[in-house]
């Protein structure tokens, strides 16, 4: 019984850490996609943050 609970906890913790990696990859892909579609010749991912 303890072994199955430990296995379940290990699977849940692994899933949570993997979801963080997936979210970071999606965020990075979004920033790169925005910069590619901007067509101003500069790679400035924070221009919307600075300009407002």
Answer whether 2's CB lies under 8 Å from 10's CB: no
pLDDT at 31: 81
- Return phi, psi of residue 20, to 5°: -65, -40
Residue-wise pLDDT tens digits, 2-50: 778 777 778 777 776 667 777 788 888 888 887 778 777 777 777 666 6
pLDDT at 30: 84
Count of domains in the chain? 1
Q: Is residue 52 part of a domain?
A: yes
Q: What angle do CA 10, 16, 21 make, to 5 degrees?
A: 125
| DSSP single-letter state for residue 46 | T
pLDDT at 48: 66
Neighbours of 44 (CB within 10 A): 13
Q: Is residue 36 part of a domain?
A: yes
pTM value > 0.85:
no
Q: Is residue 10 part of a domain?
A: no
| Measured distance CA(12)–CA(8) in Å, rounded | 6
The residue segments making up the domain with residue 41 are 23-52
């Amino acid at each position: 019984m303890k072994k199955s609970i430990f296995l379940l906890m290990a699977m849940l913790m692994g899933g949570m850490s993997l979801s963080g990696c997936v979210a970071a990859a999606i965020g990075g892909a979004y920033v790169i996609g925005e910069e590619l579609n901007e067509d101003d010749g500069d790679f400035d991912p924070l221009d919307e943050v600075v300009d407002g």
